[in-house]
Amino acid sequence: MTMVSDRAAGPSGRRARSGFLVAAALLFAAAALQLIASLERWVGTPAAWAGAAGSVEDHLYDYSIPADPWVSLGSAAQLHGVGMLLVALGVVASDWATNAGADRLSRSSALTVAAVFVLGGAHALLSGILGAPTPLQDPQLQLGLDAFAVAALVVLALRTVRASGPAALSCILLLGSTLPGYLVATFIIAPMIAGYQSYDTTPGTESVVAACVAGAAACLLGAALRSGRV
């Protein structure tokens, strides 16, 4: 009886393990790119780039969601944008590993999150390439999109938790990639690390966001290891 059960669970376990490994790899790569972008702003940026603002803490240099007035710093926006595109792929891969598309609400939530992250990633990437924000910079549009992303991530976590606790936790950590998560990073978490609250953007804010993505990747790696023991 045990052998029959193991055999029945085997393919599902292998599918889940492969999917979670792919998702974890995508998120680890995204976190690395976003960390490099953050270091480019806070560590590698020449002082001359500060321009009239006098400090890269000014929102003029925020590259996660470029918006006028905006100054592009090197390739930070492009790196962050590609990272967001990888996160979108990781969300879809994780949901496939967990549900294989059987749960329609889970699947639609994952696709909603992925779509929002694709738009955000494309906005940052194209803005960096063009040197000016795209029309996606509209504040109301950004707030609306991120509201959908937050709601979908919460739903995805709730629908996933019974199948895989680590995968559900990864959804919660990915809230750090949304606009509310960014605000929490710059006003609460980054000041705790930097030791002070900036007048605008606290140093290392984007590194906190990258750390959230890396944490989500670690959760998915844990999910892969657990599925391998099914």
pLDDT of residue 55: 80
Name the amino acid, one letter, at 7: R
pLDDT of residue 56: 86
CA 148 from centre of chain: 15
Q: Which residue numbers in the chain have pLDDT < 50?
A: 1-11, 52-53, 230
pLDDT, position 174? 98
The radius of gyration computed from the CA coordinates of the chain, to the nearest angstrom, equals: 19
Q: Whole-model pTM? A: 0.90
pLDDT at 87: 98
> Whole-angstrom Cα distance, residue 124 to residue 111?
20
Tell me the two tokens of residue 119.
């738009």
- What's the rounded Cα separation, in Å, for the pair 180 and 143? 9
